Amino acid sequence: MQTSAWEKLVRDRIPELYAEGTYRVAEPGERAALLRAKLLEETEEYLAAPDPEELADVLEVVRALAQAHGIDLAELERLRAEKAARRGGFDGGVVLRETRPARQSARAVLLDGGDLILFRRVRPGRPEPYWVTPGGKVEPGDASPEAALRRELDEELGATAGPALPILVLDEPGARHWFFACRLRTLDPSRRRGPEFGDPARGRHEIVRVPCTPDAIRAVNLVPPGLARFLAANAALLPGLLDAATYAPGRYRPVVDVHLLVLDGDRVLLGRRRNTGYADGEWQIMPSGHLDEGESVVDAVIREAREELGLHVDPADIAPAHVLHHRNPGGTARVGFFFVARRPLGEPVNAEPHKCAELAWFPVGDLPADIVPYAAAGIRQALRGAAFSLHGWGDPGPAELRAEAARAGYAELSVAVVAHRDGSVLVLSDEHGDRLPETVVRPGEPVDHAAARLCPGPARYLAAEDYVSPAGTPARRFAFAVPLPPDAPLPPNGRLLPAGAQARLTAAQRRFVDAWRASGAPGSGR
């Protein structure tokens, strides 16, 4: 039978009263953290059963904490009396009713691989460090708490992250704190800014990584305590929950879509996309759409024909024509099932004008130039009688990458380079970690030109990832491999990382390096 070990601080005489237990003596450095956990335990017991015995337990822990802070009970009483003289006690039963809007803050439970990215705070006058999540106040100009989160990540860490999942809200008098789980994409502390980072009176903000495990979270003084308790209880579930709610690399989960080729002689029916968020203004097969949960591809074709064209189709009226496994340039993959109508289906109408600007017939041998490339490939392969084909699985060119990003509505594009020499990779290093050179693509700039600004030379496409920009807009980052000439000088903070060396890159950037090494290209070490 499997067992799990857990520990808690107990009173000093418990070992002699209950000798059958297993005990150890806490190390000096962990005693304060154990006492804080004990204070929460005893406080919760008092709240559950408010009697003097439980209150005495709380007082005993407070006495031990005072000792851990280096003060005796007389000094603690002096501090209490002094504060009571200034602000009063709690004997009068005064209750605050807030009528002003609550202050709001937004903070990131920021995961990088299996680690949490936290700040270790050391402040003058506070003898013990404490740990906080990145984030801060929601400002009047922030459109939402999530918008504040993106801004704070950029200001405090020079960081971008993937989609954010709201996981916790903590309220206190006059304040509300939003916590979002998200995965780190890039981290460049050299870009962080703000008065708190240069003001000695505000102490130090040390960027640290803490394993996202209950034991590791309990081992640090993470504030607020409500967040610490939530994360310790849910640490094992959080990565999987975030991966299920947002896209994360792993087991292949393709989109499946269906297309029905409605023909009139040598012409095929197309519709111009409108207000869909993808390829708006371009032509697409009509009808077409995504497969719903629990639906067969035949049922999906019949549903799409009814919804988009007002046609009532019998399963006997259609025949499978082609299966296409497609990958968008720099994006995700999908599997498409293409059907053809065996006989005329009636007069189609534009039943969804809010999604389709117009319907039109086009010769199959003369499709419009502004047709979605995936749709054009499916039409040609289906009508030539091919049962199956691949589309988009070669290395896309810079123009294809940019065109697909525009089709998908990405407001920001950026580029990272895996610059390599003799099997080693160029990284930019500082006290906080390593990072690949990267830059935001300028308006109208080809993505390979952006890569050349970072490292001149022939750029070979590796991979892409999606993130959310500090402005809160959808964004896509492309990675290119670029060979470093033998005599090219390294930047002042650059170093060459040999294959197998321990990198301090983010998990996302390590995937770019892994993609280069897995490619087997010259210089990749394979």
Residues 268 and 348 placed together within one structural domain of the fold: yes
- Beta strands (DSSP E) in 267-372 are 267-273, 283-285, 288-290, 318-327, 333-341, 356-363
Q: Give domain status of residue 55, yes or no.
A: yes
Q: Please, are residues 109 and 167 in contact by the beta-carbon 8 Å criterion?
A: yes
- Could you tell me if 191 and 167 lie in one domain? yes
Does some domain include residue 201? Answer: yes
Residue finishing a domain among 196, 213, 245: 245
Residue 249 tokens read as 């690399």
Residues 125 and 207 in one domain: yes
Widest CA span in the chain: 98
- Please give the model's pTM, rounded to 2 decimal places: 0.74
Domain membership flag for residue 524: no
Residues 241 and 108 in one domain: yes
Residue where a domain stops, chosen among 245, 277, 308: 245
87 lies in some domain: no
Considering the domain architecture, whether residues 350 and 431 belong to the same structural domain is answered as: no
Q: What is the dihedral of CA 398, 401, 406, 410, to 10 degrees?
A: -120
Asked if 227 and 318 sit in the same domain, the reply is no
pLDDT tens by residue, the chain, 526 residues: 333 345 788 888 888 887 777 888 887 767 777 888 788 888 877 877 788 888 898 899 888 888 887 888 888 888 888 888 888 888 888 877 655 567 899 999 999 999 999 999 998 877 789 999 999 999 999 999 999 999 999 999 999 999 999 999 998 888 899 999 999 999 999 888 877 777 777 788 899 999 999 999 999 999 999 999 999 999 988 888 777 666 555 566 778 999 999 999 999 999 999 999 999 999 999 999 999 988 999 999 999 999 999 999 999 999 999 999 999 898 788 999 999 998 889 999 999 999 999 999 999 999 999 999 999 999 999 999 999 999 999 989 999 999 999 999 999 999 999 999 999 999 999 988 899 999 999 999 999 999 999 999 999 999 999 999 999 999 999 999 999 999 899 999 999 998 878 778 999 999 999 999 998 766 676 5
Q: Domain for residue 525, yes or no? A: no
The burial class, CB within 10 Å (0-12 / 13-18 / 19+), for 15 is: middle
Name every residue whose Cβ is closer than 8 Å to that of residue 406 and which is 6 or more positions away in sequence.
none
Give the range of the structural domain holding residue 359, as residue numbers without chain letter: 256-391
Asked if residues 359 and 276 have their Cβ atoms less than 8 Å apart, the reply is no
Q: Within this chain, do residues 38 and 110 fall inside the same structural domain, yes or no?
A: no
CA 473/CA 412 separation, integer angstroms: 7
Beta bridge partners, 467, equal 475
The answer as to whether 398 is a domain residue is no
In a domain, 44, yes or no: yes
**Are 291 and 179 within one domain?**
no
Domain total of the chain: 4
Specify whether 44 is located in the same domain as 124.
no
Residue 3 lies in a domain: no
- Alpha helix locations (H) across 235-314? 238-245, 297-309
Q: What is the CATH number of the domain that holds 377?
A: 3.90.79.10
Q: Which of 226, 245, 264 is the last residue of a domain?
A: 245
User: Helices in 183-224 by DSSP H: which ranges?
Assistant: 214-218
Query: Same domain, yes or no, for 473 and 417?
Result: yes
The answer to whether residues 229 and 109 belong to one domain is yes
126 and 45 fall within a common domain? no
Q: Which of 523, 520, 494, 493 is nearest to 420 (CA)?
A: 523
